[in-house]
C-alpha cells in the first residue's frame, strides 16, 4: 500500500516542532469525533495582516500516524513563512487530499506534504490528515487574521498578488470535511 510513505512514518515517530510553547497569539483545540483524536495548537504571528509571518506553531497532538505526521509537516512548512504562503500551502494540501488520487501534490507548495498523496485514496483518512490544518487555520482566525477579507480580495480590481489566496475561500469545514465513519 502506498499510504505509509517513509516520510510519514518518520514524521509520526519524531514529530517536528511538537510541544506547546510560549508566546502565542491564539490557541485552539480540535477533535476528530470519529476516533477521538485531539490536537491543541498554538500560533504566534509577527506583523499584521496578510504579510504577517508565522513566528511559531506549537502543538500537542494525540492521534494516528497520519494526523501526527500531517501536523508535523504543517508546522515545518509554515513556520517562518507568511500567512499568505501558509494559506496557499493549505489550499494545495486540501486540493491534493480531496482529489481521490488524481493530484500528486506540488512539492514546491507543500514540501513533505506530497507524501500524503496516497491518503486521498482513503476517504476515511482525509480527516486525519486535515485535523492539524483545520486547527491551524482556526488559530489564524483566532489570532485576528481575517481570512474572509483575504479571500474576498481576489475580486479586488487592484491586481494585488492575491491569486495564491483565492483558494482560502475553501476554508470552510463543510467543504474540506471528508465522509465520516460514525456509528
Q: Nearest-CA neighbor of 119 among 135, 101, 94?
A: 101
Report phi then psi at 42, rounded to 5. -115, 145
Q: How many CA atoms lie within 13 A of 81 on its CB side?
A: 17
Binding mask of the shown chain, residues 164 to 183, with x at each position contacting other proteins by CB under 8 A: -----------------xxx
Measured from the CB of residue 176, what is the shortest distance to other proteins in angstroms?
A: 18
Among 5, 34, 82, 169, binds other proteins (CB under 8 A): 34
7 binds other proteins (CB under 8 A): no
Nearer to other proteins, 6 or 108 (CB): 6
Nearer to other proteins, 8 or 87 (CB): 8
Helix axes 123-142, 65-78, angle to 10 degrees: 40
Cα gap 64→72, rounded to integer Å: 12
Where along the sequence are the contacts to other proteins (CB under 8 A)? 1, 3-4, 9, 13, 34-38, 62-66, 122, 125, 128, 181-183
Amino acid at each position: 500500500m502506498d499510504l505509509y510513505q517513509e516520510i510519514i512514518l518518520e514524521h509520526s515517530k519524531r514529530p517536528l516542532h511538537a510541544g506547546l510553547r510560549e508566546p502565542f497569539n491564539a490557541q485552539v483545540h480540535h477533535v476528530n469525533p470519529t476516533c477521538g483524536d485531539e490536537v491543541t495548537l498554538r500560533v504566534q504571528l509577527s506583523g499584521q495582516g496578510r504579510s504577517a509571518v508565522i513566528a511559531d506553531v506549537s502543538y500537542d497532538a494525540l492521534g494516528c500516524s497520519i494526523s501526527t505526521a500531517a501536523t508535523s509537516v504543517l508546522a515545518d512548512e509554515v513556520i517562518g513563512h507568511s500567512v499568505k504562503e501558509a494559506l496557499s500551502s493549505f489550499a494545495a494540501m486540501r486540493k491534493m487530499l480531496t482529489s481521490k488520487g488524481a493530484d500528486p501534490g506540488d512539492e514546491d507548495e507543500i514540501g513533505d506534504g506530497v507524501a500524503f498523496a496516497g491518503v486521498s485514496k482513503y476517504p476515511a483518512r482525509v480527516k486525519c490528515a486535515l485535523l492539524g490544518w483545520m486547527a491551524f487555520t482556526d488559530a489564524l482566525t483566532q489570532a485576528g487574521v481575517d481570512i474572509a477579507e483575504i479571500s474576498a480580495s481576489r475580486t479586488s480590481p487592484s491586481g494585488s498578488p492575491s491569486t495564491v489566496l483565492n483558494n482560502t475561500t475553501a476554508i470552510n469545514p463543510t467543504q474540506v470535511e471528508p465522509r465520516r465513519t460514525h456509528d
